[in-house]
Amino acid sequence: MDTKHIVLTGFIVTALVTAVVLVDVLPVLVIAFIILLAGLGFTYYAGLSRNRIEYIGEQRLLLEFNKHLSGIQERSEVELITNKYASRIVSCEKTMILGAGDVSTIEDGFDVNSIKKWVEEKKAELLIVDHNSCPPDLSVPAHIQSLLAIPILSRSDIYGIILLLNKKDPGSFTARQREMLQHLAAETAEIISQLLDYKKQQAYQLDLLKAMVKAIEEREMGFAGHSERVAEITRLLGGKLGLDAAEMQDLYYSALLHDIGKLRLDCNDNSEANGLNLEGHASQGAYILQEVPGIERVREGILYHHERYDGKGGPQGLAATDIPFAARIIAVADIYDALTRLCAEEERLSHKESLRAIKKCSGSILDPLVVVALEEVEDIIAGWDQCVTRGRGY
């Protein structure tokens, strides 16, 4: 019990004792005094309880926000979550997150880019409660009655702003509302910073892998660029087939490294004598990566990409859905690129001819579902080839 509670309790107890002692002398005055003290005590406790309930609710909201941010892999999702919770903290006609570089307008045509630019340049909060409080170097239309813009700032980097326009409830933005929104902005900035650092690291690692794959492919005539093209095709197929972000990443790496086993075969002069056939490089590729932790799906995609849907492939003779989905997707992309790009020029098929040939293998060599997905994205892949022909690459 804190000091305020002790004092208040003491007053009430004293009043009751006094009332008992003086009840015969001043009954009406004592009763009135007791009612007054009781009313004051009740009011104090009611106000205290309300503040405590509001504080607990605010803390719960912020904890829920932090929980929802954990595990998010895309910046756009982070911004959506921040926007959702900002609108729960303050009821406004319009709440939005403007990322760095975004240019946006609200429904009535007011260009908010000037506000974002002002906040980003000064790296400071902007609060406008009426037009008299508008900075002299900023013009805000008359229909914007109130405005709060908070920078999404991490150290010296700014990733955009949280913008709230026209508060619905009477009065200005409270200090507590601004404090909570500043918490949202700080947490959002930290998550975005981590995501950007992670993506830079991923890009660096991917560049190293591509360089290694390129070195392997250049040892074999005509194979340059094959693995990267297969990886891009699988990215399209995976998106069409509804894979999530983690599955898409593993699929892409599996496709990029699907022929890595050829490196080990090239080092073995007696590969044919040891029974290392077409499927052998798949097994060897999986073997090369066996000591790498946390990439089981990548290894499976490499190991099984020469299995056949009817179970007559290798290395283990898996059939249908027993073959990992990534391997079934890579198989289609691998064959498609082989028909359109790897064959000798006089034997090379057009994209439409390759698609027809692949459809004939549907249900026997290849997964019918993946073949249907290829048919839906085939025009996009054909467009890539046109870009290559014109010298732009893809």
Assign 3-class secondary structure to 214-248: HHHHCCCCCCCCHHHHHHHHHHHHHHHCCCCHHHH
- CA angle at residue 122 from 121 to 128, to 5 degrees? 115
Residues 6+ apart with CB under 8 A from 121: none
CATH (one of 3.30.450.40, 3.10.20.340, 3.40.50.620, 3.40.109.40) for 74-195: 3.30.450.40
Tokens 């009840």 belong to: 23
Q: Which two tokens mark 326?
A: 């990534």
Within the chain, strands assigned E span 92-99, 126-128, 147-154, 157-167
Q: Which two tokens mark 117?
A: 């630019």
Tokens 């000064």 belong to: 122
**pLDDT at residue 388 greater than cutoff 70:** no
76-99 pLDDT tens trace: 899 999 999 999 999 999 999 988
Section 38-48 average pLDDT? 56
**pLDDT at residue 47 greater than cutoff 80:** no
Give the predicted TM-score (pTM) of the model: 0.67
Helices (H) and strands (E) in the chain, counts: 13, 4
Section 114-125 average pLDDT? 90
Residue 315: which of 367, 261, 358, 235 has the closest Cα? Answer: 261
pLDDT at 365: 95
Section 278-286 average pLDDT? 78
Tokens 């893809």 belong to: 394
Tokens 């260009």 belong to: 111
Choice between 269 and 62, residue whose per-residue pLDDT is larger: 62
Q: Which of 156-160, 180-184, 192-196 is the least confident region? A: 156-160
241-275 pLDDT tens trace: 999 988 999 999 999 999 888 877 655 554 443 44
Q: Which fold has domain 218-389?
A: Hypothetical protein af1432 (1.10.3210)
CA–CA dist 195, 198 (Å, integer): 5
Section 214-242 average pLDDT? 89
pLDDT at 13: 57
State the chain's mean pLDDT as an integer. Answer: 82
328-386 pLDDT tens trace: 999 999 999 999 988 777 788 888 999 999 999 999 999 999 999 999 999 888 887 65
pLDDT at 393: 44
Q: Which of 273-277, 299-303, 323-327, 375-379 is the least confident region? A: 273-277
Section 188-193 average pLDDT? 93
pLDDT at 289: 87
CA–CA dist 308, 290 (Å, integer): 23
Residue 309: which of 324, 322, 320, 325 has the closest Cα? Answer: 320
State percent of the chain over pLDDT 90: 41
Q: How deeply is 266 buried, as exposed, middle or buried, from its count of CB atoms within 10 A (0-12, 13-18, 19+)? A: middle
Alpha-carbon distances of 356 from 54, 127, 340, rounded to whole Å = 65, 63, 12
pLDDT at 131: 72
pLDDT at 331: 95
pLDDT tier, 150 (very low <50, low <70, confident <90, very high otherwise): very high
CA–CA dist 115, 141 (Å, integer): 12
pLDDT at 132: 78
Q: Domain locations in the chain?
A: 3-66, 74-195, 218-389
pLDDT at 335: 94
Alpha-carbon distances of 136 from 128, 131, 140, 238, rounded to whole Å = 12, 10, 10, 52
The terminus-to-terminus CA distance of the chain in angstroms comes to: 70
